[in-house]
Amino acid sequence: MSTPSALRLRGRTLGPGEFAVMAVVNRTPDSFFDRGATFGFTAAVDAATRLIDEGADIVDIGGVKAGPGDVVGPAEEIDRVAGVVAAVRDRHPDVIISVDTWRSEVAKVVADAGADLLNDTWGGVDPGLAEVAGAYGIGLVCAHAGRVEPRTRPHRIGYADIVADVIGYTTALAERAVSLGVRRDAVLIDPAHDFGKNTWHSLEVTRRLGELVATGWPVLVAVSNKDFVGEALGGLPVERRHEGTLATLAVSAVQGARVFRVHDAAGARAALAAVARLRDG
């Protein structure tokens, strides 16, 4: 077991045992959750403000739907997210801004616009992303997506030991990022539930999340309203996964996860406050 390290982003320090809420703003017309509700520029910026008011510490802005769908090239992705990043930075100078992208050309533009963190949910498919984070002095999320192509759903993917694979892959990405100049205290690892995984894999990662925490790297979990939550609870549709999401957040928090990517900032903040109170007495 390694000594847990602090996470430092935009002047804020998040130590072991502390929780941060990362709220999602989808600048996409086809999000599985909000169906394009924040696709408009003003809607996206206003949503960021609302989520911050509800307790978000980090706003994660994305311009491409995670699942299969219409092709979105780098130029269109930049057009969707860069202006929102700049506007949120202008309106909220102290908030931590993350951008969900796997492309280094997008990363450069949003770093210039004021992003503090690159959320690489597809697990290093563009090696240049870590180089951008190092060059700009910003943070990086190192995720495990099963080595699949972005926006694909692999058929019958398997692992000898999913947790061992997650740990080996994400920590290697993290060490590479540090070697490229990313501050060690600005790197997180993310098992990336449902990315390159079936429901069994995502549940196993959740049950054994403490093994990721034991690496010492701060752990991010992104489980909000995901398919594994719905399937594990009997096939619930997206709109009925809220309670399962909060339960999964609590299980993850008790095991030591530190950053929680969610759609409902207020609900997550309340649930995590309850976990902390019960844990600490």
CA distance 53 to 45: 13
Please list the active-site residues. Answer: 226, 261
CB half-sphere exposure, 19, CA atoms < 13 A:
28
Reduced to 3 states (helix: H, G, I; strand: E, B; else coil), residue 123 is coil
CB count in 10 Å sphere of residue 202: 24
Torsion of the alpha carbons at 52, 54, 55 and 59, rounded to the nearest 10: -30
**Nearest partner of 41 among 7, 86, 103, judged by Cα:** 86
Tokens read off for 38: 């924040």
